[in-house]
Structure 1
């Protein structure tokens, strides 16, 4: 998954130790950080993109990648037909120890890039104090995703509103994760994730948003379908 995601990061001679194919890495330390990437298949190449992406996931398997990668297709919203992948639950130092970055990049160039364009790559932090329940995402059939572009200077107030909302929703059965963009896009930006069991249930999600008047510049609501064949579990 490495290609074009940290294009500024140099590979120092002698700094990369390659692992034998199939050798498993130790489990990475847990933490609140995630990397999320949005990919757009080229016109008419959806099937070719998926086939190439499956081959790339097999590369991760053969390389013994210890990170889990979830994959989704956008099924509602402005980015209909796009694809998002992400790896979650990391300590920040994990991102300095991705599996074989140069080989990962080369495999991406071979199998994925001919059929798709990488549109965005961001590092996000889950705000545990503003989230409810076990961390999301997971392998639920659908993921309801709301992206907030917050007005400059309003990030603190936005987070405090969700923190207050968390205490009100304790014990209600609500479950959601709020992520803050750390690097890789226009900030302040936040992503709210909610697991959804079915397409119909997505249309009837209960309202959980606190009062955000005067804080938000724009809000984008989308629905994503989980793609088990385009996901990787070590």
Structure 2
């Protein structure tokens, strides 16, 4: 049948529209961020104790493992520290900071990652611990690790808080933040709350560029002790003693050669 005049006009209109459309329809894509710097609040820490006499082999093997992460375009940051002072002296600690917790659901080639670590790292060290923390930005004066700006050293305090006293402890920490910010003489104070592998614990990490920075107080009690008003100082220190069950302190030295910043 010969097409009607109306059908002919409609066909010409459709052809005109098609001429202005893309040649191929765009398919939906999922964008994987090439940088996860400061996009989330997760902090994952892993501890390793090098086997006696195998420290050099461990360092070399860990560097090889970092090369694996680099060649596979791992978007996560990986810091490496050695504990130089404190109860875990000699332990190697690595950690990833500043990414969302969901980033660890989508790690790069996780099975191959484990195999490479088994070849290059685990023969020379014993796994000591693994723990998961959440950065508390509301309690902190700065977040250098989340911003991928590690300091040469970090002063680390772990506070074991009494059961049911976490919220009261946080109120004291908020006062500490105010005092620290007002003084302007302390390094960046970053607080973390334990959420996996730890119970009722908080970590305070203080960025230190060198030993000279230790002239300024770097722990909760030390900062509270600088409060001028005697009544307020006594009340806060009394609360600190009532809410905190135990404290341990360490110094970690950053190893740029054992770290990977994408």
TM-score greater than 0.5 by the shorter chain: yes
> Does residue 57 of structure 2 align to residue 45 of structure 1?
no
CA RMSD of aligned residues (A): 1.8
Report SS of the residue matched to 2:241. coil
Q: 2:241 aligns with which of 213, 220, 230?
A: 213
Quickly say closer, same or farther: Cα 1:223–1:111, change in 2 above 3 A. Answer: same
* Alignment match, 2:172: 161
Contact 2:98 2:145 in 1 (8 A): no
Q: 1:198 aligns with which of 207, 210, 217?
A: 210
Report SS of the residue matched to 1:130. coil
Contact 1:147 1:219 in 2 (8 A): yes
How many residues are aligned here?
209
Q: 1:26 aligns with which of 30, 34, 59?
A: 34
Report SS of the residue matched to 2:102. helix
> Does residue 110 of structure 2 align to residue 101 of structure 1?
yes
CA distance in 2, matches of 1:149, 1:102: 35
Report SS of the residue matched to 1:163. helix
Q: 2:84 aligns with which of 72, 75, 80?
A: 75
Shift of residue 55, structure 1, vs aligned partner: 0.5
Contact 1:25 1:65 in 2 (8 A): no
Q: Kindly indicate which of the two structures has a greater share of residues assigned to helix.
A: 2
CA distance in 2, matches of 1:107, 1:207: 38
TM-score by length of 1: 0.83
Quickly say closer, same or farther: Cα 1:61–1:189, change in 2 above 3 A. Answer: same
Shift of residue 117, structure 1, vs aligned partner: 1.1
CA distance in 1, matches of 2:140, 2:261: 24
Contact 1:135 1:176 in 2 (8 A): no
Shift of residue 160, structure 1, vs aligned partner: 1.6
* Alignment match, 1:183: 196
Quickly say closer, same or farther: Cα 1:38–1:161, change in 2 above 3 A. Answer: same
Report SS of the residue matched to 1:167. helix
* Structure with bigger gyration radius: 2
* Alignment match, 1:17: none
CA distance in 2, matches of 1:43, 1:161: 42
TM-score by length of 2: 0.75
> Deviation digits for residues 33-65 of structure 1, max 9, x if unmatched?
111111111111111110100000000011110
> Does residue 178 of structure 2 align to residue 150 of structure 1?
no
Structure 2 residue runs without a partner (length 5+): 1-31, 225-236
Structure 1 residue runs without a partner (length 5+): 1-23
CA distance in 1, matches of 2:218, 2:53: 37
Quickly say closer, same or farther: Cα 1:83–1:37, change in 2 above 3 A. Answer: same
Report SS of the residue matched to 1:214. helix
> Does residue 254 of structure 2 align to residue 226 of structure 1?
yes
> Deviation digits for residues 52-111 of structure 1, max 9, x if unmatched?
000000000111101111110011011111011111112121121111110110011000
Shift of residue 154, structure 1, vs aligned partner: 1.4
Task: List, as ranges, runs of 4+ consecutive aligned residues in structure 1 with deviation greater than 4 Å.
Answer: none
Report SS of the residue matched to 2:52. coil
